[in-house]
Structure 1
């Protein structure tokens, strides 16, 4: 084996580079800054040590520029021992919403639009959800259709009415909720 081949494959380093360590520390510092911007009720929902929680609350109360900067760096230092991946995941869910919840909302919106457009959609819905209150659904669909017809006659600049449209969505949402948990 040539002498430089062993030199390239084994430089004597068995740990991350100094640059990688610095990138990781800056990522934890940024995560700490995000935590400092959170309200107290959300902070309590995260898996934070008492020391880290107190440091974050102190950073939130600190108004002096240099004092706040130092407190933020202290929070970043304490973040080394925190469960950063769990915290990032929860922050992502709060920021972007759960994908499953978003998909469920889109399904309900599509179902609502189908119910307003087609009478056979109600028959299919009742076959899937026999416990549904048919009278309430028919009333909401009828009112939603009248509302949509009225909205087509509005002059530009007038706000469309959405009361029954939203009420139908809420009724479908409560209809879907029990079946998801069973």
Structure 2
């Protein structure tokens, strides 16, 4: 067989075995994410019935080999589906989750600072002028008393909720 420009173009157009394998694994990973979703979120996707059935069958599987084969099957079925909208929706949900986690960490840092640093309340008041400082002082004082008396951390939790309400208002 001669190397003609047509043959060279055909070889360039076909993806390599490595590329096909990477694509297959990417589809399987997306399939794993779909299997882990709760049914309400899964229904938001416009997936073919056969793919939905395969996903529902994979959920209760615990044996590694069986689950791996089922995930390969899901990956094969997903080749027929446009993955762009599915991936975009999964990424947006992941991004929301990352933002929520960051926000919770911020609230936790404020609570710890308010409980350990006496100047933190002044900083908090400057940053969030809508804050109810009297209520926050009361919660901080009660949290210290509860900790000293080894009581349940009711005010500790209430302080977190008050911070959450204050920071949400801004």
Fold shared per TM-score above 0.5: yes
Structure 1, unaligned stretches of length 5 or more? 1-8, 152-159
Query: 2:146 — aligned with what?
Result: 147
Kindly report the root-mean-square deviation, in angstroms, between the aligned alpha carbons of the 2 structures: 3.6
Distance of 1:24 and 1:89 partners within structure 2:
17
Query: 1:31 — aligned with what?
Result: 30
Structure 2, unaligned stretches of length 5 or more? 1-7
1:121 aligns to 2:130 (yes or no)? no
TM-score, normalised to structure 2's length?
A: 0.68
Aligned partner of residue 16 in structure 1, secondary structure: coil
Query: 1:173 — aligned with what?
Result: 164
Structure 1 68/126 Cα, relative in aligned 2: closer, same or farther at 3 Å?
A: closer
1:103 aligns to 2:110 (yes or no)? no
How many residues get paired? 157
Structure 1 23/170 Cα, relative in aligned 2: closer, same or farther at 3 Å?
A: same
1:27: how far off? 2.9
Query: 2:3 — aligned with what?
Result: none
TM-score, normalised to structure 1's length?
A: 0.64
Distance of 2:95 and 2:128 partners within structure 1:
30
1:144: how far off? 1.0
